[in-house]
């Protein structure tokens, strides 16, 4: 029988089909962070239960820790220190691997997972964080869960899922060099809506996806949850295998050979069934930026804020609210809109390749005097590698702040945030109301667009770069 | 978890689409690892004006602050309810506030499961039905209540008309019996261990020390 990539990974993790139609699925790896993982660990502690296989559980500090140089357990977030301390104490007690502050392996969980070789092709992985779907980029079956489900996986090494329907999104055609994985996923969500993937596991495929480097594939899968998909997944190939080889927790020696043999089977068979297929011609994708308060409110950089022409009353209402919140009007050009802040970071776009693209643009240029610009590398490893290449100097010379790694200002938790009414161009994944600060207006874009906009002081088409001053 | 079979409650229509968990429970309101006492932070950005400042007050325009929706226990919302962050704090806040049932055309998947695990019933109904229910409720919210029967998978509107919904059998049982999912699965530990022993032969590379 012809199987999809998702079927293959799913089938090999079925512990038991339940009478009620759900499936008990084995979970290979669990990653925690101090924000929601702490709640799961505390609940286990209170219940007196034990983690079934501590060697398969990893934890990092990313959500609450400050990213200022010289940071400590004290954070600017109200109550933040408690999350850090509870996580550290319980990680130690439960004998799980913690990438703590000061550890060179610390960073955003979804960046560290691949960097350390913890997430692997053909493995199931969960984290109490919605962007766990990122790891589908290397062929893992990874999904975000709540704290209770995380606790369930920690104690039983399984989760109960109803098998999702399956969708394949094929990216084909000529992609412009300035169009990145971020633009591709924003385009998909803009066309098919933020609920377009609801109920589906989505395989991203096609020649353009095959051409993407590993880090770009992680970006593509990262926003599968913004499409409301169960997860995103991409067939692993030589690029992925080369990327993983030699990583600290990746298989080695004989084990590597066994893994390679298994991984080489992880592709969708000819004729396998998908419940839905979408084909996107990449010639239709320009650098893309959001104008509103949902990732589906995305348009081409040379486009206009849309008019309320939809016959869907709910959608119209939400657009009206978004226009008011964002201080915009239908028909307005998005390009040239003045910004007050620029942010490069988050599990979406904070890896070395992202920083290189931004640095290429920033080299020899200065951030506009009206703009506060911040770069937060996705992990301490990324930061160190970037510094080795001198990228930190480029960011600093251009006028960017250069931070320690963490989730940082991707979201506002009462600590650092952008100011009410301030317009921020950001390489993150959510432009929800108040996401980056009460009243703050977030425009999602690729790191290239963020860097170019920071220089110009307004939302900028990266393709017009030579016109930058 | 408490057993949950039927509920008759005051419903508040909050018919926005894509209500995200940042809106339900803003990150800055999550000040402690604890699950309890979060109701005061529910929809904080919408429920309060000048939140956290000396001028803080209830936003009179927000539906849950209006007298006719006092003690609402049912929410009627737009599609893709609870999208975004996986934070279970959002569900803990809803439960602590007193919400027992949310009726929406669709839900964020993680949020849906989080609801079930905390005894909050997510009901999927057609957009048009929700619109009809909402139109009936707003005429007299305190009296025009909505009844939800989990066993019969039935929502009864103020006009007495029944609307059937689907609920996965396992989820239904969890709610009706008030079961703890971990307890249920722990009884299958030997099955899980048998799976692992076979998996170790098939995928030895997936196992760490």
Across the interface, whether the CB atoms of B110 and A79 are under 8 A apart is answered no
For B63, other C-beta atoms within 10 Å of its C-beta total 19
Across the interface, whether the CB atoms of B203 and A432 are under 8 A apart is answered no
Q: Is residue B54 part of a domain?
A: yes
3-state SS of chain B: helix, strand, coil percent to 5?
40, 20, 40
Fold classified for A165-236+268-284: Aconitase; Domain 2 (3.40.1060)
Average pLDDT over residues A147-176: 97
- Per cent of chain A over pLDDT 90 is 94
Residue B140: domain span: 6-206
Given CA atoms A343, A377, A182, A62 in this order, what sign does their dihedral have? negative
With contact defined as beta carbons under 8 Å apart, do A33 and A109 qualify? Answer: yes
The pLDDT value recorded for residue B186 is: 97
Distance CA B20, CA B25 (A): 9
Structural domains of chain B, count: 1
Average pLDDT over residues B174-199: 96
Distance CA A138, CA A235 (A): 7
**Nearest C-alpha of chain A: how many angstroms from B116?**
10
From chain B, pick out residues whose CB is under 8 angstroms from the CB of A318.
16-18, 78
Express each pLDDT in A260-280 by its tens digit: 999 999 999 999 999 999 999
Structure tokens at A188: 């998909």
Express each pLDDT in A420-448 by its tens digit: 999 999 999 999 999 999 999 999 999 99
Q: Which of B22, B80, B196 sits opposite A434 (nearest CB)?
A: B22
The pLDDT value recorded for residue A414 is: 85
Q: Is residue B113 part of a domain?
A: yes
A288-467 belongs to CATH 2.30.30.110: no
Across the interface, whether the CB atoms of B91 and A146 are under 8 A apart is answered yes
Q: Counting beta carbons within 10 angstroms of the beta carbon of residue B149, is it exposed (0 to 12), middle (13 to 18) or buried (19 or more)?
A: middle
Specify the range with the lowest mean pLDDT, choosing from A16-20, A169-173, A389-393.
A16-20
CA angle A100-A146-A199, nearest 5°? Answer: 130
**Nearest C-alpha of chain A: how many angstroms from B182?**
5
Q: Is residue B193 part of a domain?
A: yes
With contact defined as beta carbons under 8 Å apart, do A229 and A202 qualify? Answer: yes
Of A353, A228, A210, A221, give the one whose Cα is nearest residue A282.
A210
Q: Which of B87, B169, B205 sits opposite A255 (nearest CB)?
A: B205
With contact defined as beta carbons under 8 Å apart, do A111 and A382 qualify? Answer: yes
With contact defined as beta carbons under 8 Å apart, do A308 and A330 qualify? Answer: yes
The pLDDT value recorded for residue B34 is: 85
Q: How big is the A-B interface in CB pairs under 8 Å?
A: 202
Q: Is residue B15 part of a domain?
A: yes
The phi and psi torsions of A143 (rounded to 5 degrees) equal -150, 150
What band does A376 get if pLDDT is binned at 50, 70 and 90? very high
CATH number of the structural domain spanning residue B108: 3.20.19.10
**Nearest C-alpha of chain B: how many angstroms from A402?**
24
Across the interface, whether the CB atoms of B23 and A35 are under 8 A apart is answered no
Do domains A165-236+268-284 and A288-467 share one topology? The answer is no
H or E, element range at B90: helix B89-97
Q: Mutating which of A142, A161, A195, A296 best tests the B interface, going by the most B Cβ atoms within 10 A?
A: A195
Does residue B59 have a pLDDT over 80? yes
Q: Which of B20, B33, B118 sits opposite A38 (nearest CB)?
A: B33
The pLDDT value recorded for residue B33 is: 85
Does residue A385 have a pLDDT over 80? yes
Average pLDDT over residues B68-90: 96
Distance CA A57, CA A16 (A): 23
3-state SS of chain A: helix, strand, coil percent to 5?
35, 20, 45
Task: Assign A25 to helix, strand or coil.
Answer: strand
Interface pTM, i.e. ipTM: 0.94
Q: Is residue B188 part of a domain?
A: yes
Angle between helices A391-398 and A352-362 (to 10 degrees): 50
Q: Is residue B139 part of a domain?
A: yes
Q: Is residue B1 part of a domain?
A: no
Q: Is residue B174 part of a domain?
A: yes
Of A405, A389, A379, A404, give the one whose Cα is nearest residue A356.
A389
Across the interface, whether the CB atoms of B113 and A433 are under 8 A apart is answered no
H or E, element range at A41: helix A37-47
With contact defined as beta carbons under 8 Å apart, do A97 and A59 qualify? Answer: yes
Across the interface, whether the CB atoms of B31 and A42 are under 8 A apart is answered no
Specify the range with the lowest mean pLDDT, choosing from A71-75, A185-189, A237-241.
A71-75
The pLDDT value recorded for residue A466 is: 65
Does residue B14 have a pLDDT over 50? yes
Across the interface, whether the CB atoms of A314 and B80 are under 8 A apart is answered no
Structure tokens at A175: 């992609």
Q: Which of B26, B34, B191 sits opposite A16 (nearest CB)?
A: B191
Distance CA A92, CA A109 (A): 18
Of B67, B135, B27, give the one whose Cα is nearest residue A435.
B27
Structure tokens at A17: 């089909």
Express each pLDDT in B121-176 by its tens digit: 999 999 999 999 999 999 999 999 999 999 999 999 999 999 999 999 999 999 99
- Per cent of chain B over pLDDT 90 is 91
> CATH code for A5-158+240-260?
3.30.499.10
Q: Bigger pLDDT: A20 or B44?
A: B44
Does residue A386 have a pLDDT over 50? yes
The pLDDT value recorded for residue A469 is: 46
Rounded mean pLDDT of chain A? 96
Q: Bigger pLDDT: B33 or A400?
A: A400
Q: Which of B114, B195, B202 sits opposite A148 (nearest CB)?
A: B114
Structural domain boundaries of chain A?
A: 5-158+240-260, 165-236+268-284, 288-467
Rounded mean pLDDT of chain B? 95
From chain A, pick out residues whose CB is under 8 angstroms from the CB of B35.
39, 43
């Amino acid at each position: 029988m012809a199987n999809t990539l998702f079927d293959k990974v799913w089938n090999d993790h079925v512990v038991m089909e339940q009478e009620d139609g759900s499936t008990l699925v084995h979970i290979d790896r669990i990653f925690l962070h101090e924000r929601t993982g702490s709640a799961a660990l505390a609940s286990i502690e209170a219940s007196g239960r034990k983690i079934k296989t501590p060697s398969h559980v990893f934890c990092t500090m990313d959500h609450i820790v400050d990213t200022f140089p010289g940071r400590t357990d004290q954070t600017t977030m109200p109550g933040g220190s408690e999350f850090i301390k509870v996580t550290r104490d319980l990680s130690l007690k439960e004998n799980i691997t913690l990438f703590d502050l000061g550890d060179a392996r610390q960073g955003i969980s979804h960046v560290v997972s691949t960097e350390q070789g913890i997430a692997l092709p053909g493995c199931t992985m969960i984290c109490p964080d919605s962007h766990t779907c990122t790891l589908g980029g290397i062929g893992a079956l990874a999904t975000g869960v709540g704290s209770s489900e995380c606790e369930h996986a920690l104690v039983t090494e399984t989760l109960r899922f109803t098998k999702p329907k399956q969708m394949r999104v094929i990216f084909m055609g000529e992609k412009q060099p300035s169009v990145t994985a971020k633009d591709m996923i924003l385009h998909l969500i803009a066309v098919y809506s933020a609920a377009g993937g609801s109920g589906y596991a989505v395989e991203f495929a096609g020649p353009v996806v095959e051409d993407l480097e590993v880090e770009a594939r992680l970006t593509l899968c990262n926003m599968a949850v913004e499409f409301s998909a169960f997860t995103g997944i991409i067939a692993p190939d030589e690029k992925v295998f080369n990327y993983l080889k030699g990583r600290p927790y990746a298989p080695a020696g004989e084990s590597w050979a066994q893994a390679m043999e298994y991984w080489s089977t992880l592709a969708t068979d000819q004729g396998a069934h998908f419940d839905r297929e979408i084909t996107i011609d990449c010639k239709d994708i320009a650098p893309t930026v959001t104008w509103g308060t949902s990732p589906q409110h995305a348009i081409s950089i040379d486009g206009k804020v849309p008019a309320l022409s939809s016959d869907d009353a709910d959608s119209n209402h939400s657009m009206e609210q978004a226009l008011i919140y964002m201080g915009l009007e239908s028909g307005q050009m998005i390009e040239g809109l003045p910004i007050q802040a620029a942010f490069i970071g988050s599990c979406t776009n904070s890896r070395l390749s992202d920083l290189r693209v931004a640095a290429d643009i920033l080299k020899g240029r200065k951030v506009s005097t009206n703009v506060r610009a911040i770069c937060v590398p996705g992990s301490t490893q990324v930061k160190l590698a970037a510094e080795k290449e001198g990228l930190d100097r480029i960011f600093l010379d251009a006028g960017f702040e250069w931070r320690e790694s963490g989730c940082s200002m991707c979201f506002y938790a009462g600590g650092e945030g952008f100011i009410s009414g301030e317009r921020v161009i950001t390489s993150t994944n959510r432009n929800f109301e108040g996401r980056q600060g009460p009243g703050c207006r977030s425009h999602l874009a690729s790191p290239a667009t963020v860097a170019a906009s920071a220089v110009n002081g307004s939302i900028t088409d990266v393709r017009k770069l030579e016109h930058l001053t | 978890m408490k057993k949950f079979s039927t509920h008759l409650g005051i419903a508040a229509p909050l018919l926005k689409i894509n209500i995200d968990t940042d809106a339900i429970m803003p990150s800055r309101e999550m000040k402690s690892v604890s699950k309890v006492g979060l109701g005061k932070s529910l929809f904080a950005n919408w429920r309060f004006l000048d939140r956290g400042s000396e001028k803080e007050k209830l936003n009179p325009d927000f539906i849950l602050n209006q007298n006719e929706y006092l003690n609402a226990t049912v929410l009627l919302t737009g599609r893709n309810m609870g999208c975004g962050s996986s934070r279970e704090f959002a569900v803990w806040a809803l439960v602590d506030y007193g919400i027992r049932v949310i009726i929406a055309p669709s839900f964020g998947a993680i949020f849906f499961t989080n609801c079930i695990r905390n005894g909050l019933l997510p009901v999927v109904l057609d957009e048009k039905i929700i619109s009809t229910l909402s139109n009936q409720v707003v005429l007299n919210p305190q009296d025009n209540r909505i009844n939800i029967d989990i066993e019969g998978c039935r929502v009864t509107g103020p006009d007495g008309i029944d609307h059937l919904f689907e609920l996965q059998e396992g989820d239904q049982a969890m709610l009706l019996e008030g079961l703890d999912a971990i307890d249920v699965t722990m009884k299958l530990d030997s099955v899980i261990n048998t799976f692992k022993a076979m998996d170790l032969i098939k995928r030895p590379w997936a196992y760490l020390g």
